[in-house]
Chain A
């Protein structure tokens, strides 16, 4: 069965600092991987995804993530945090060729302080 672990339910960074949100997965087959962002009282918005091809994936708002098969990881990074990045971030996986049923991690709440 697939599972997703996000290390750190809360992460706090200074404005301008590096953002690193960690995601590790467990899957019997190479999965598709996703990062979503949720702003307060809103639905989820896709930041980026990995399906096949290049393992370094660039997304919206300056975020990127690297798929490392050997480490079963898909960590999300941004070189310089902005106040508007404060939100909750979810890592998710799905099994290729299926019905795209997403398995989510528990989420990481990112706080950005001046």
Chain B
């Protein structure tokens, strides 16, 4: 277990409001990821980070932004939440190529009304 925590664990918000989800890791892993999980789609990559201040888009990045100012924290922001962003969001970290394992956090269930 890579010691990944996510906050909040549950959130209900209204359409048009900004939302920030936080991921915190204690293993000093360089690589971090945000995925969303939806029925019938498995998990899909939103954004990822390969170092402090180094981020890039994933498969479903529209409507999301990220920031990483410290190794241990990776923030996902929904600038103006929409009902299509109702989902379960998972943060993950990667050990690197040698061990090659991605560890997942417990998830955040977000409902946009």
- With beta carbons under 8 angstroms apart, the residue of A49, A90, A107 that contacts B101 is A49
- With beta carbons under 8 angstroms apart, the residue of B40, B56, B90 that contacts A44 is B90
Contact of B31 with A99 in the complex, beta carbons under 8 Å? yes
Contact of A100 with B42 in the complex, beta carbons under 8 Å? no
Q: For chain B, give the interface size range.
A: 20 to 34
CA distance A59 to B68 in the complex (A): 33
Does A106 interact with chain B (Cβ within 8 Å)? yes
Q: For chain A, give the interface size range.
A: 20 to 34
Nearest-CB residue, chain A, relative to B100 = A51
B97 to chain A: which residues have CB within 8 Å?
Answer: 97, 100
Nearest-CB residue, chain B, relative to A4 = B42
List 23 A-B pairs, Cβ < 8 Å.
A4-B42, A32-B100, A34-B102, A42-B106, A43-B90, A43-B105, A44-B43, A45-B104, A46-B102, A46-B103, A92-B43, A97-B97, A99-B48, A99-B56, A100-B100, A101-B48, A102-B43, A102-B45, A102-B102, A103-B59, A104-B42, A105-B42, A107-B42
Q: Which of A's residues lie within 8 Å of B, judged by CB? A: 4, 6, 9, 32, 34, 36, 41-46, 49, 51, 90, 92, 97, 99-107
Q: Which of B's residues lie within 8 Å of A, judged by CB? A: 4, 31, 33, 35, 40-45, 48, 50, 56, 58-59, 90, 94, 97, 100-107
